[in-house]
Structure 1
């Protein structure tokens, strides 16, 4: 960074702009990875709940163990997640 002091203003501005772009891209990618992870976890929960339904487990047990909402359980029962 000390080297940057000798750069002209245009070069400094370009460098800062590149750094900002890298920062934004990095955060975007992290956000995409986090979203994919959350979607995967949600899919696993729904698949687990479906298996529990097939085993004739009670709704309260499914909700508690799978960690899904009553609305999500209703979706599974309606066949939207098979």
Structure 2
């Protein structure tokens, strides 16, 4: 069940995932992100379901700043 899954378990590669499949996923996500950024204005509001309370409604600008900070923190 979903309750049995470790928190953030989707943040690590699984032993059965190939480098090629991870790179393909990374590129697909990048293309989707680029299309989203091109299609929307920075003040467009979206929902981040795992952000709690009022914080779940965030503008594209807020989400991009968050992603920059997270990339800096984790990939520095």
TM-score bracket relative to the smaller structure:
0.3 to 0.5
User: Which has a greater percent of strand?
Assistant: 2
User: Which has a greater percent of helix?
Assistant: 1
Question: If the length of structure 2 is used for normalisation, what is the TM-score?
Answer: 0.37
Question: If the length of structure 1 is used for normalisation, what is the TM-score?
Answer: 0.35
Name the larger-Rg structure. Answer: 1
